[in-house]
Each structure stands twice: as C-alpha cells, then as structure tokens.
Chain A
Amino acid sequence: MDEHRASTSQLIEEVRQLEADGKSEEALERLRYWAEEVPVEPDVRHQLIRLCLGSAHPGALKVAARQLSLVLLERRLAGVR
C-alpha cells in the first residue's frame, strides 16, 4: 500500500512536471495509463481527477469523466448516495 502511494505521489509529480514543461499530451498519456491500466484506491481516483482538471489538454476531461463514473459507481455499490 505504501509502495502504491509512493508511486502515486511520483506520478503526480511527474504529471505536474510534464504540464509545467508544456508537454500536456505526454502528461495526459501518463494519466490515462494510470487511470485505465492500474487499479487505484478511491482517494487516488480523486487525485487523478484533480490532475485532469488541472491539465490543459482537452482530452483530460474524458479521462476524469471515467474516473468520476467509477467513483459514483463505487459509492452506489457501497450503499452511499
């Protein structure tokens, strides 16, 4: 778990750096990989969404939308509204 959180923090830093360097396409690809290929904790989903909202790439909203759909589904399954 700690290792997962550590690699998540690393991802967040990586994406922020790519965005700062103007490489929004690469940043989005990293986000998309994490969002779609790596199983993540619910709180990590919110971090991914936050990163997507901060991204300048127009495709970032779609990546965030998928994560939000999963968050809402998880909440519904857990019996939370």
Chain B
Amino acid sequence: MSLPDTQNNLLLRAQRFLPSLLMGYLLVAVLGWLWRGDPVFSGARLHPYLVLVLWAAIRYGSWEGIVTALTGVALLALRGLTANSETAFLLMATALFTGLMADANLKRTRRLRLQLARLGAEVLELREDGEVLRASNVDLLTRLEEKDTGLTVIHQVSARLLALTDPQEIVSALVQVTHEFAGAERCSFYRREGANLRLVLAHGWPNVPSEARVLRPSSEPDLLLLAAERMSVQTVRDYPMAARLEPELAPAMLRLLAVPLLHPNSNEVLGVLSIESLPFVRFNTATVQLMLAIAELGAKSLAQARQPEILAAAPTPLVETDGLLSANLFHTRLRREALARQRGAVPPFCVLWLACDNLSRLAADSQRMVIRAVELIMLVNLRPADARAQLEPEAFGVLLNDTELATAETLATDLAWQLQELIPLWVPAATELRIQLGWAGGEPDTILDRAKERSKLWTSIALAPAS
C-alpha cells in the first residue's frame, strides 16, 4: 500500500488520501483560528500537525506520512521556518519513523494474509482428500466384508457338499444350498442323459409339467442345454431370447441362470443347476460367482460319489418342500457339524426337536393344518441358515448354527408359547394336541448322545383352547 506503485495505483492512492489530508489540515486551521487566532499553531510545543502526520503514516503508510509532514512544514514556513525548525524536524522524523514501521507491519500483515489464504486452500484440499479417502475406505471395507462373507459362504457350502458320498444326498444338498445361499426361490438340478437333460430334483416348483422333465435339443435354444453345450454358465441377461418360458410351471417363470457341473478330471458335463426364480436384487455377478463355486464343489462331490448309477437310475423327479431336509440329510449334517465343532472349525451349535403328540386323532385336514402351522412358526422364528428337517411325519428337527445353549432355550420358550397360543386359533380342533419340545447344546458328543435319546428330553406343552 505504501510502496511506490504504477501511475494508476498512485492516482488511486492520491484520490483516497488527499481529501482526508485537506480535511485534516482544515480542521486544525479552524481549531487554531478559534483557539489561538493562529491557524498554523506557530511556536506550539506539542504541534497538532504531529497528530496528522502520525495518523497519515499509520493509516496510509510512509509516503502519505511524508507528504503530510511536508505539507505541515510548508504551512509552518509561512510563519517562518526558523521559529518552527524543531517542529518541522519532528514532523519529518515522525513521518519517516512511523511510516516505515507501518510499512513493515503492513507488509507482514499482507504476508500473513497470503499465508492464511494458502493454508485455507490447503485445508480445503486436505478436506477433499479426506472425503475421498473416507469414501475409498468405506468402499474397501464393504468389499472386504463382501469377500469375507463370500469366503464364509463358500466355506459353508464346501462343508455341506464335500462330505457327502450318496449321489441323491449330493443333489439334494446342491439344490438346498442354491436355495439357501444364492437365495433362489425356485431352482432345479438336471442330469445329463446323452444329448438330453433329465430333471432330477426341483425346489419350490408348484408342479412338474411333462415338458420340463426332459429337455431335448431343438430349434429353440434352451438356456440349460446351452449351458451344457458350451460348458459355461448362461444367464437370461446374455440370452434373453434363449430363456424358455414355461407357462405350466408358473406365470412368467423363466430360466434365469444355468450352470453346468463339469467333472474335475474329464470335464464331462455331469448335470446342470438351474435357477428359475430369484429376488431381483440377488441377480448380480456375486450370485453368478457363487453358483460357479457351488457347481464346482458339487461336481467334485458327484465325481467322488459311490454308486453314481443310482443318480442315473432315478426315474421320477422329486420336488422338495420349502427348505425342509430329509431325516438322513439332517443327521448327516448334524454329524458333520459335530465333527467340525470338535476340530474347532465352527462356532457352538444347538439342536431343537419338536413333535406333535396325538396328531393321528385329528381329521386328515386338521393334521395337515397343524403340520403346516408348525412349519410356519418355525419359518418365522428361525434364521434361513438354520437347517430344518422333517424327521418323521409328526416330528421336526432344527440345527441352530452359531447358537449358544442359553439362546436355544430362549428360542424354545418362545416357540412353545407361540405353538400353545396360535395353533388353536388356526386349527380349533387341535386343542387336544400336545407338542413335545426338546433341545440340546454344549459339547458335540453330548448333543449327539441326546440326539439318539431325544425322547427323554421332552418338555410337553398342552395347547390352550382358542379364546
């Protein structure tokens, strides 16, 4: 501000400073005239021009201070410079000293302002970088979690499939894991029969139309046959025209995804896993990757199966009920889970048993309603990962993964209350029924022992009459 600048700047400075200077001196002159009759304050010990010089130097800078001092000296010279020589000297000295100090301060202030502006810009940049890093961190954590979840799922699928040797159990497990882990509402397994594919097991299908039992090569491309022919996964996204619409199965039921099971050594197509119905949000790359893993593990398991001809000979395709395992499969899983727990590979688990006493006393319709009611209560209270099985026509078992005994007891208590209160509301004829509940947890050996003698553990519940 106080340093020599271009002509424009000088003009601007003059425009800003000179009116103030004029006003200042006018004021002093009026004051002097009124007070002493001398507008110049000639001979004054503490001259008011000093104030003007100080003000100009501090407010505007050294050059303005000097101009003010020179103006003052010129005015004093009108009264005689000799008499006012001390004042003149004081004015110039003050202008220089104060002006230079003010200049230095102004320079420092400007430098600090520039530094602050630079720091402010750096802070903004850092903040933006921080936001980007935070977003990347969240993205990375999400991917790690997905990867971790994916690895956990693969581990569980592997545990379910690789320990089986019975081909029918393997196929059942394949369809089960596709339903549980991929979230498929309808899925199926076809085995290769020459150039054809024959349905072995379907899950969630309302019925099995004859057209879907055997798929033969035809002029219309079929997603499953394409998957078998190309030995790679096919989805309806890649071949929308290749999706076969099966009107008999359900309205607008499409083949969404087909993945072949390839023999690990010979690469022969053993069969094809198909998904016909899947929640929209699950139809993504992650599900395709999971299905590829399931197919690979299933193929490995089938290749090692004993008596694979049993699978080839199965004449009638089976349709599983919603998520209920067979008794054999349930006990196989229980043994496998116990072994894995003994090795410390899985967290603690518990088992729950449920049986309906005196069910045969009811009419067939009421019996069916009661069984469905029990399935419903289990469906609502259990997690999808808990394995449910129908052990006998009137008895159910549940494998509660990753569950402590205390939690299993609480769950059993809740189930007992709901069975007691709700079944009579839905099936009024069932008031004479008794529901037997049992549970076991803790050491795997203890659980397996109790599984053999579960009848000794029953807690009996009488159903309350509907109010």
Contacts and interface: CB of A to CB of B under 8 A. Distances in A.
B138 to A, nearest CB: 31
Q: Which secondary structure characterizes the binding site on chain A?
A: helix
Contacts of A71: 422
Interface of A: 24-25, 46, 49-50, 52-54, 57-59, 61-62, 64-65, 68-69, 71-72, 81
B379 A53 contact: no
Interface string B419-437: 0001001110000000000
Contacts of A53: 369, 372-373, 376, 426-427
A64 B376 contact: yes
Interface in B409-463: 417-418, 422, 425-427
A75 to B, nearest CB: 9
Contact of B426 (A49, A58, A59, A69): A49
Contact of A72 (B365, B369, B380, B427): B380
B322 A49 contact: no
Contacts of A72: 380, 418
A46 B426 CA distance: 7
B426 A61 contact: no
A25 B376 contact: no
B206 A57 contact: yes
Contacts of B425: 46, 50
Interface string B365-392: 1000100110111011000000000000
A65 B250 contact: no
A65 B380 contact: yes
B417 A58 contact: no
B426 A50 contact: yes
Nearest to B369: A53
B250 A49 contact: no
A81 B417 contact: yes
A68 B417 contact: no
Given A25-B251, A49-B376, A65-B380, A54 B322 contact: no
Contacts of B321: 58
Given A58-B322, A69-B380, A72-B380, A25 B372 contact: no
A61 B379 contact: yes
Interface in B339-376: 365, 369, 372-373, 375-376
A59 B321 CA distance: 10
B380 A68 contact: yes
B206 A61 contact: no
Given A49-B426, A58-B322, A25 B380 contact: no
